[in-house]
A and B are shown apart, each in its own frame.
Chain A
Amino acid sequence: MTVDDDVRLLREVVATALRRETTDPDARREAVADWQMVRQNGWDQAGLTPDASVEETTVVAEELAAWAVSVPLVAHHLARWVLAQSAAVPPTPGVTLMAPPSDAVVLTSGTAGPRLHGTLPRVPWVGLADLLVVYARDENRDALVVVPPRAPGVHVEAGTNLAGEPRDRVVFEDCRLAPGAVVRGAPDRTTVQLRAGLLGAAEMLGAMRRAHELAVDHARTRQQFGRPIASFDAVAGHLAEMAAEIQLVRAAVERATVAHDVGIDRLVHTASAKVVAAHAAGVVAERAHQVFGALGTTQEHPLHLFTMRLLSWRDEWGAEHEWARALGEYASGLGTDEYWAVLTL
C-alpha cells in the first residue's frame, strides 16, 4: 500500500532512535526515563496538530510497542486530543492522562458544587499523572472532567495488568471538583472510545510484529536434530500462522485509520480492527512462546515484554467481547442490506 511519505519518515525516525536506545533489550526499562525520551523526541505530540492524521499516532504507538517501550502514550494522546477538541478547558499543566472511558463514574451537582462518585478499576499510569481526564455520567449526558489523582476524595490503589504495567484502581468518593474542572463542549465518550480502540489496536500490532520477528530469528538459528527448527513443518506452521494474523491486523488497522481521518464509519472499522487485533494477540502470544520453548518463559528473555502485554492489551480500551457486541448490534440494527451498503460505501 502507498503510505504518506511524512508518516513513513516518522516511522523510520522513531524506529532508528529506538534501535539506538534499546541496545540492551534484556535490560529492565525505566518508565519515567522512557517517557522523558518520548517527550524529548516530540513523539508525544504525534497526531495532535489540528490537521494531523491519526496515522502519526498509530505509527508511534506501534513502534514504541515493538521496541518494548511501555509508556502512557495512548492515555496522554487521548487526553490532549480530547481537550484540544473541546470548547473551554481548564489549565492542564504537567502530565495529563485519559482514564479509560466508562459509565461507572457519576457527576452530581449539588449545593456543595460538582462532585464525582464511582470507581474506575484499571487506569493506566496514574502514578505518572498530574491530572486525569475522566468521563462521568451527568444525568443523561456525558461530562468530561479534569481531576488531580491526589486530590481529596480520590483513592488510588496501585495495581498492575498481567504484564506488570501500572493499572490502578481509582475510587472517587464524593470528590469535590475544582471550579472549571468540568470541560465545556467536549466530544462525546464514544468518539474518544473509538480513537482509543484504534490506538490500542496499533499498539498490539507493534507487539505482535516484534514477537513474530523474534520467533522467526530464533527458529532460523536454533538447531535441534542437526537442523534449524524452522525447517520442521510444525514450527514453520506457527510462524506462518502468526504472519497471516499480523497481515490481517495491519489491513484492519490501516482501514480504521482512514475511517478516522475521513470521519466515516469509524465504529465499524475500529471495532473490526480491535476485535481482529485481540484475536491475533492471543494467537501470536501462544505460538511465539511455543516456538521459543522454555527459554521464552524466563524473566531474562525479552519475549514476555511482548506476549504478556499482548494478552493484557487485547482487553484494554474496551474488551474484545464489548467491541464484538457493539459491531454485532450495529449491523443487526441496520439489517443486512444497509450494512452491506456501509461496508461497500
Chain B
Amino acid sequence: MHTVIAERAALGTLRREVADVITAWERAGRLTPRCDAWLTGYDREFTTALAAHGLIGVSWPEHLGGRALSAQARLAVVEELLRHGAPVAAHWIAERQIGPTLLRHGTPELQEEFLPAIARGEVTFCLGMSETEAGSDLAAVRTRAARVDDGWVIDGAKVWTSHAHRSEFAYVLARTGAPEGADRHEGLTEFVVPMDACGIAVRPIRDMRGQHHFNEVLLEGVHVPDRYVIGEVGGGWQQATGQLAFERGGMERVMSTFPVLEALVARGADGDMRVTERVGALLARFDALREMAWRIARRMDEGHAPRTEAAVLKLLGTRFERDVLSAARACLRDVAPDPTAAGLPGLLADAWAAAPGFAIRGGTSEVLTRIVGREQARS
C-alpha cells in the first residue's frame, strides 16, 4: 500500500503543469471559478491551451497523442482542473469516455482518426444516449441504424445532449437488432457520427439558469460509413455499460461544488466552532470519497471496469456535493445566493440551480442504488 501512496506523490510535477495553465488563465482574467464548470464551463481556447501542454488524454498511448500515463495520473490532472473550476466542458466527454471507449473497442483506424485530434483539442464529442423514452432505461432506445451498402443510415432523436450545438462529432447509441426478442439489450450498437452530416438538426434546451448546454439532436436518414461502428455490431450494451465506470467513477461527481467548500474552509479561520465542526465533517467525507476515486483509478489501471465502486462513488459523491451547499447555507449566513452577482453569491446561485442535476445526470441515484443492491444479491 505504501507504494501506492508513493505513486500518487510522484504526480506533483504533473499537477504543477496543470496549475501553470490555470494560473496563466487566471492572470489573463479569463478564469472565474465556478461550480459545475466541467459541464457548463465551455471554452475552446482553454481546451486548446491544455492540449498544447499535452494535458488532454495523458493516459493514452503516445502514438495516439497521449503520454502513456496511468488512469491515476489522469485523475491528478482532473483534480487540479476541478479544484479551480476550470472551463473544461468542451473536451470533457471526448477525453473522459469516448477516447477510452475507442481504445477498448475501436479499430486501430478509428483510434488513429480520433484520438490524436481529441488530444490536440481539435475534435470534441457530445453524447447521443438518452431519448425522451429512454433515460434511466437506456436499453429502451429507439433510434435505429439500418444497414445499407457502404454503411448505416440512422434515424431517431436524442435528448439531453450537452454541447451538441458545438461538437464536431457525436457518440450515438442506436438499435441495429430487433427490439422484441429474448433480450432487448442485444441489438444495440455504438456509432461515431459527424455532427456536420446531412440530416442532423440540433435544437437547444435552456436550463433553469437560462444557460444552453442541453440539446435535442434529431437524426433523419443520417448516413455513416461502416468504419464509424465502434466495436461489435450488437455489442453496444456491453460496451456502453463498460463506459459507465469512466463516466461515474471520477472526481467530477464529488467536486462540482468544491469552490463553495473552499469558501467554507476559509470562513472556518474566523474561529466559530460550529463552522469548524461542520467544515471538518465535510472534509472528512471528502478525504474518504477521494480515496475511493483513487482506488477506482487504480482498478482501471489494472484493466478492470469497476462499475459498482463507481456507482457507490457517484451515489455518495453527489450527495456530498449538495451537503456542501447546505453547510454553506448554515455557516455563511451573510452570503445569500444571487444570480446577478459576482463572487461567492453568484457561485452559490449557480450551484443551487445546478444541484438538482447532480443526482440525475450520468445515472440517477435511484438507478445507482439498484446497481449497488444488485451487486450484494450476487455476492
A residues apposed to B, CB below 8 Å: 1-4, 216, 220, 230, 233, 236-237, 239-241, 243-245, 247-249, 251-252, 254-255, 257-258, 261-262, 268-269, 271-276, 279, 320-321, 323-329, 331-333, 335-336, 339-340, 343-345
Contacts and interface: CB of A to CB of B under 8 A. Distances in A.
A236 B268 contact: no
Interface in B64-84: 76, 79, 83
Interface string B355-379: 0000000000000011011011100
Contacts of A326: 280
Given A243-B312, A247-B309, A261-B2, A344 B280 contact: no
A244 B315 contact: yes
A252 B262 CA distance: 21
Contacts of B375: 243
A85 to B, nearest CB: 21
B12, B265, B273, B370: most-surrounded residue (chain A CB, <10 A):
B265
Nearest to B287: A272
Contacts of A248: 285, 288-289, 292, 312, 316
Given A247-B309, A331-B268, A332-B279, A236 B373 contact: yes
A243 to B, nearest CB: 6
Contacts of B279: 328, 331-332
Contacts of A276: 284-285, 287-288
Contacts of A3: 1
Contact of A344 (B79, B265, B312): B79
Max chain B C-beta neighbours (<10 A), residue from A251, A326, A343: A251
B292 A239 contact: no
Interface string B13-36: 001000000000000000000000
Interface of B: 1-2, 4-5, 8-9, 11-12, 15, 76, 79, 83, 262, 265-269, 273, 275-281, 283-285, 287-292, 295, 298, 309, 312, 315-316, 369-370, 372-373, 375-377
Contacts of B312: 243-244, 247-248
Contacts of B15: 344
B373 A239 contact: yes
A334 B122 CA distance: 40
Contacts of A328: 265, 268, 275-281, 283
B283 A243 contact: no
12 contacts: A216-B376, A248-B316, A258-B5, A261-B2, A274-B284, A276-B285, A279-B281, A321-B277, A323-B280, A324-B280, A327-B283, A344-B11
Given A249-B288, A332-B279, 13 more contacts: A1-B295, A2-B1, A243-B372, A244-B372, A247-B312, A261-B1, A272-B284, A274-B284, A331-B283, A332-B268, A335-B265, A339-B283, A344-B11
B83 A275 contact: no
Contact of B288 (A243, A273, A339): A273
Contact of A251 (B283, B295, B372): B295
A275 B284 contact: yes
Q: Is the interface of B mostly helix, strand, loop or mixed?
A: helix
A324 B281 contact: yes
Contacts of B5: 258, 262, 345
Contacts of B276: 324-325, 328-329, 332
A117 B352 CA distance: 53
A243 B368 CA distance: 12
Most buried by B among A244, A248, A252, A325: A244
A332 B316 contact: no
A332 B288 contact: no
Contacts of A255: 287-288, 291
B287 A340 contact: no
B377 A258 contact: no
A321 B280 CA distance: 9
Given A269-B287, A336-B266, A343-B287, A331 B280 contact: yes
A233 B275 CA distance: 37
Given A248-B292, A328-B283, A336 B1 contact: no
Given A271-B280, A275-B284, A344-B79, A251 B268 contact: no
Contacts of A345: 5, 8-9, 12
B370 A272 contact: no
Contacts of A321: 277
B291 A240 contact: no
Contact of A332 (B9, B265, B298): B265
User: Which has the most chain B C-beta neighbours within 10 Å: A2, A216, A323, A345?
Assistant: A345
The 7 closest A-B pairs by CB, nearest first: A328-B280, A332-B268, A324-B280, A275-B284, A328-B276, A272-B287, A327-B280
Contacts of A335: 265-266, 269
A324 B275 CA distance: 10
A248 B376 CA distance: 16
Nearest to A329: B276
Name, among B1, B5, B295, the residue most crowded by chain A CB atoms within 10 Å (CB to CB): B1
B265 A1 contact: no
A247 B296 CA distance: 12
Nearest to A251: B291
B37 to A, nearest CB: 17
A230 B372 CA distance: 13
Contacts of A247: 292, 309, 312
